[in-house]
Amino acid sequence: MALRNAASFLGQRLVGAAELGISAAKSSAGEALTNAFVTDGVRHASNQAVKQRIRAIKNIGKITKAMKMVAASKMKNAQVAVEQSRGIVNPFVRLFGDHPGVDGKSGVTVAVTSDRGLCGGLNSNITKYTRALLKLDAAAGESANTQLVSIGDKGRSQLMRAESRLFTYTFAETYKVRVTFAQASLIAEELLKNNPEVVKVMFNKFRSAISFKPTLATVLTPEVLEKQLTEPSGNRLDAYEIEATHERSDVLRDLAEFQLAATLYNAMLENNCSEHASRMSAMENSTKSAGEMLGKLTLEYNRKRQATITTELIEIIAGASALMDA
């Protein structure tokens, strides 16, 4: 501030000397210096813009760091729920087997996504694999009676653009509260209203904090399950003794409905845990990028500030020399 005041004072003196008519050359030099001092506020405009960007990036870095910590905390709790839900689904896989390529007259494809973004390519991967699965079904001639359902708002927005003719409905805001088996049972009940023979569930299976794999789980109706008895990986229900023979169809129907609810419950928990892990990784990368950008902008700001100070010193020295020559 003292340098600016001194420079302005010298400029005024040079203007006064020029008005007294010392010389035309000194008058023109004084006018040039005066114009430079008048535009002193414009000279610092770029520095102020850089300073505002530094402040904004600092705030963004704080937000992303806080979001990373929140996601890490939620992921730990979600991981416990995932481990518990796997104990419900794995016995069904051992009992009925896994049949991702089974054919059916009617089917439902369920894409399990998240309701919120800022979690990397988690939802895009599910959308990509779901579209690939629908293309395979179309090539096999099964797309005529296939319905597309999404769990999560992000899947709805992406799949409606790509597969609007097959898209039926969506279940949004499923992760606002803790995912429960009752919630998954309600979704399974809605899916079973259309009497599909095959239900395919696409979701992200959680492996670790940095790894999650798109996975396809297939649930069959009792009629289709009976047809899989001859398959090497078919159901092993005959290995268990059933009390009454006429209740076999009822047992298969109840088990199929329970399997669908358990599969949806596990898929939602797996995807929820993968969402937190992906968001934690994305926010960590964002925090690192904000730190790198902050360092570059700070260096740029210091260089401009130093250049401004150097320019002011040169102008003060030039003004003092002009006064001494006068």
pTM of the model: 0.75
Residue 12's pLDDT is 52
Question: For residue 272, how far is the Cα from the chain centroid?
Answer: 12
pLDDT of amino acid 141: 66
pLDDT at position 245: 57
Can you give the residue ranges of every domain in the chain? 72-283
Residue that is written with structure tokens 């009617």 in the block: 106
Count of other CB atoms within 10 angstroms of residue 123: 28
State the pLDDT at residue 51.
87
pLDDT on residue 270 = 94
Mean pLDDT by 10 residues, the chain (326 residues): 48 44 40 42 66 92 94 91 91 81 82 89 91 83 78 87 85 88 92 89 91 90 74 61 66 87 94 93 93 91 87 87 80
Q: Which of 104, 131, 111, 100 is nearest to 218 (CA)?
A: 100
Element (H, E) at 96: helix 45-96
Q: What CA–CA distance (Å, rounded) separates 121 from 118? A: 9
Closest listed residue to residue 216, CA positions, set 106, 84, 111, 143: 111
Q: How many whole angstroms separate alpha carbon 277 and alpha carbon 235?
A: 34
CATH code given to domain 72-283? 3.40.1380.10
Q: What interhelical angle do 248-325 and 181-192 show, nearest 10?
A: 110
